[in-house]
Structure 1
Amino acid sequence: MIKLKSKLGLILAICGTITVSTAFAATDVKTTEETNPNPIIAPIKTDEPTSYRLKQLEEIAMYYYWHGGDLKKAEEEIFKGITLKGKYDVVEAAYNEATILDPHNLDLKFSLASTQIIQKKIPEALKTYRQILNLDPLNFNANLLNGVYSKINGDEDTYKKSISTLKQIDAHKTKEYLQKFERTDATIKEKLNTSVPGNLPQKNHAIVILGYALADDGTMREPLIERLKAGLSVANKYPNSKIIVTGGVPKQSNTEAKLMKEWLISNGIDEKRIIPEDKSTDTVENALFTTAILEKEGLKDITLVTSASHMRRALTIFKEASSFYDKMNAGNSKRAFTNVVYLDYPSLEEANKVTKDEILVIYRDLLRASGIWQYPGMQR
């Protein structure tokens, strides 16, 4: 199989120059072959099947979602010198063009809305969700997402209408989501601990230290080292607890989990205590894959360790993952969650302030952890 990066090179070679329209530029960029008179990404060859053109656009979107590409090089060689604000500009543009090529495909519209949410463009995302609902009024996910993001945007009436519709579509599923929201609202209000809690379980307890993206040279950056220091203090106080280190994105043949394990061993922790989770690429996967380890190892309770700015989201997602495993296995783990944070704010008072942007990201990842993919069929 050709790797995605190689595929992108092939795409560009086949398609020729890709340009961005006046939606991103001060002046028009003329092309010799366009799919519409005011294209966002062009040219996509018109002598290829629609399915092939859509695949090209989705692969471009996913390449930039993951890797970002060299924006400067993209400006000079692909986008003809047009200034790009960031990789998600390209992802959004690709999905927007895809929805033009296939306006009936709702998954493409969901992907477009997700990219708008990532960029905190809530009004634009809500417009996209409304388009889906205009075409499919009883679409559960569209009603749910439109309602949640409307509420975050200050529109309580639309949220209530969405919940009412959802109850008519699937009352049981709606009740489950309302319980998730109630649990999340309570989690957001939880106290952040900068010191190790007393009276943690002495048996079947795990300390879970969340990773942080490695530097390009494959070394650990300061936030990850600080998280490890916080985790070490918990590990030293509770010597019977297992330690799970998470993070699987490789840089220079290293993963976060690998380097975290090595750091802990170099700081006196017995290797037998440490369990690496080295497949995850983000916090949602941290939670899902770590919970599978907890189930396998018979570990009931966890103390989560991460940065203060990350903790509320992490706790929300881990609780959702634990709830899902309970449901899947027809059990009730009654898992208790505690937290210890590396304080990456000027003060604990600042850390306890929850912004609209943080709530947006918390709910976005809660919904992802609940099984709603950001990019249907492409990326969780």
Structure 2
Amino acid sequence: MTRFKLTAGILALMAVTGCSSVATHKNEKFYQNQEKISEYTQKGMDYYWHGGDLKKAEKEFFKGITLKGKYDVVENYFVEASNLNPSRLDLRFGIASSQILQGKTDEALDTYREIIKIYPDSFEANMLLAGYDYALGNMDEYNEIMNKMKSIYPEKTRNFEQRILRTEDFKKTQFNTYPFEMPGDNQAIVVLGYALGKDGVMQPTLIGRLEQALAMAKKNPNASIIVTGGVPQGGVTEAYLMKNWLVEKGINPNRIYIEDQAKDTVGNALYSVNILKNIGAKNVNLITSASHMRRALAVLQEMALTEGLQLSSLSNLVYLDYPSLQEAYSITPKENLVIYRDMMRAAGFWAYPGIQR
């Protein structure tokens, strides 16, 4: 009898120990996967910003995959991360954003549809799918999604609908090519940067924008000036060189605010809006290239609304980078898609949730 009890006790102890080992193994596996997911997403975003050696990436990690560009690398890193934890919807959003960047719109829409199958009421997934449907002319699915979401999130969905209508208005923007007197008080001129050469030298496009900024600043001597652009080359940022150029041309440095954190158009808008709020500017003139203006205006307006800034007026002055104004008014399908992509980012829909807006 005693022998039986002893044996049963040992068996019970073995069973408990075995369960504990299984649980420990599962926990270790979970944390290992989390570390790998973090590694893959970080590598993906490093390629997003800086690119890299595609052949090296194929050889060392993506064996058997022919990579077509840096955004293809980003997509595949997020695919690998998602495979480790398919329930992580943020990783699937990252896959879709990478597909959009490559122009793989059909695949991106399918990725959003997969997210919606997992979480049918996801406001973010439904609105992103609807927004791209609208941009691509898929109106049946767009209307279906909007009707469904109005019954679940009526106010938020109507707000999104208003953002689309405003974006359509910005697509009809008439470009100003000569400086003019801005309306009202509390004026600010926002000048968007342009990528520097690798040696930190301003390129002709940026100088063209600055020449327009100089003319506008002289026409409106009470307007503050925000120069925005933060990608450094040769140890300097776009904004730093932009301010120096304007000061050398006679503009009072006290009028100029440097924004040197932004890496893209959405960043330009986000950080500039924060400065506009701090200085109390309500009447804003935006300066960039004609090819960039429609997107920049839509993004700045939506970012202002997202961040709680009500603008009294938002005007434009373009550096004409087309042979003629007539050509500048033509919107390609690619530009249309990018306008909506960045508008939705400005509206609060992160491209890479938790990593990059």
Band of TM-score, shorter chain: 0.7 to 0.9
Whether the 8 Å CA contact 2:293–2:318 is kept in 1: the answer is yes
Alignment length (residue pairs): 329
In structure 1, the residue corresponding to 2:150 is in which secondary structure? Answer: helix
Counterpart CA distance in 2 for 1:162 and 1:47 is 35
Report the alpha carbon displacement of residue 290 of structure 1 after superposing the two structures with TM: 0.9
CA offset digits 1:192-250 (Å, max 9, x no partner): 111123x4236311111101111111111121111101111111222221111001122
Cα 1:78/1:218, change in 2 over 3 Å? farther
Cα 1:275/1:350, change in 2 over 3 Å? same
Counterpart CA distance in 2 for 1:183 and 1:258 is 33
**Runs of 5+ unmatched residues, structure 2:** 1-28
Aligned to 2:101: 118
Cα 1:83/1:121, change in 2 over 3 Å? closer
Aligned to 1:90: 73
Cα 1:48/1:279, change in 2 over 3 Å? closer
Whether the 8 Å CA contact 2:194–2:205 is kept in 1: the answer is yes
Structure 2 residue identity aligned to 1:361: V
- Report sequence identity in percent: 49
Aligned to 1:205: 187
Report the alpha carbon displacement of residue 324 of structure 1 after superposing the two structures with TM: 2.3
Structure 2 residue identity aligned to 1:173: K
Whether the 8 Å CA contact 1:98–1:108 is kept in 2: the answer is yes
Whether the 8 Å CA contact 1:284–1:317 is kept in 2: the answer is yes
Which one has more relative contact order, counting CA pairs under 8 Å at least 6 apart?
Answer: 2
In structure 2, the residue corresponding to 1:207 is in which secondary structure? Answer: strand
Q: 2:82 aligns with which of 90, 99, 102?
A: 99
CA offset digits 1:317-368 (Å, max 9, x no partner): 11112222337xxxxx342011011111121111101122111111111111
Cα 1:78/1:147, change in 2 over 3 Å? closer
CA offset digits 1:97-136 (Å, max 9, x no partner): 2222222211111110011111121100011111111111
Counterpart CA distance in 1 for 2:71 and 2:254 is 42
Structure 2 residue identity aligned to 1:313: R
Counterpart CA distance in 2 for 1:158 and 1:337 is 33
Q: 1:243 aligns with which of 225, 234, 259?
A: 225
Report the alpha carbon displacement of residue 78 of structure 1 after superposing the two structures with TM: 6.2
Report the alpha carbon displacement of residue 84 of structure 1 after superposing the two structures with TM: 3.5
Q: 2:250 aligns with which of 268, 278, 298?
A: 268
Counterpart CA distance in 1 for 2:93 and 2:55 is 29
Aligned to 1:318: 300
Q: Output the aligned Cα RMSD.
A: 2.0
User: For the pair shown, which has the larger CA radius of gyration, 1 or 2?
Assistant: 2
- Write out aligned runs for 1:270-309 (5 A): 270-309=252-291
Aligned to 2:350: 373
Counterpart CA distance in 2 for 1:93 and 1:82 is 9
Aligned to 2:23: none
Whether the 8 Å CA contact 1:202–1:238 is kept in 2: the answer is no
Whether the 8 Å CA contact 1:218–1:251 is kept in 2: the answer is yes
In structure 2, the residue corresponding to 1:49 is in which secondary structure? Answer: helix
Matched, 1:140 2:123: yes
Aligned to 2:205: 223
Report the alpha carbon displacement of residue 76 of structure 1 after superposing the two structures with TM: 6.7
Structure 2 residue identity aligned to 1:89: D
Counterpart CA distance in 2 for 1:147 and 1:222 is 38
**Runs of 5+ unmatched residues, structure 1:** 1-45, 328-332
Counterpart CA distance in 2 for 1:147 and 1:218 is 41
Whether the 8 Å CA contact 2:304–2:311 is kept in 1: the answer is no
Report the alpha carbon displacement of residue 257 of structure 1 after superposing the two structures with TM: 0.7
Whether the 8 Å CA contact 2:184–2:283 is kept in 1: the answer is no
Q: 2:316 aligns with which of 339, 342, 350?
A: 339
Cα 1:335/1:104, change in 2 over 3 Å? same
Aligned to 2:35: 52
Aligned to 1:162: 145
Matched, 1:355 2:332: yes
Cα 1:377/1:110, change in 2 over 3 Å? same
Counterpart CA distance in 2 for 1:190 and 1:300 is 20
Whether the 8 Å CA contact 1:207–1:243 is kept in 2: the answer is yes
Report the alpha carbon displacement of residue 48 of structure 1 after superposing the two structures with TM: 7.9
In structure 1, the residue corresponding to 2:266 is in which secondary structure? Answer: helix
In structure 2, the residue corresponding to 1:209 is in which secondary structure? Answer: strand
Report the alpha carbon displacement of residue 80 of structure 1 after superposing the two structures with TM: 7.3
CA offset digits 1:273-307 (Å, max 9, x no partner): 11111121211111111111111112211110000
Q: TM-score, normalised by structure 2?
A: 0.87
Matched, 1:254 2:236: yes
Counterpart CA distance in 1 for 2:250 and 2:55 is 45
Counterpart CA distance in 2 for 1:173 and 1:295 is 24
Whether the 8 Å CA contact 1:193–1:341 is kept in 2: the answer is yes
Cα 1:272/1:141, change in 2 over 3 Å? same
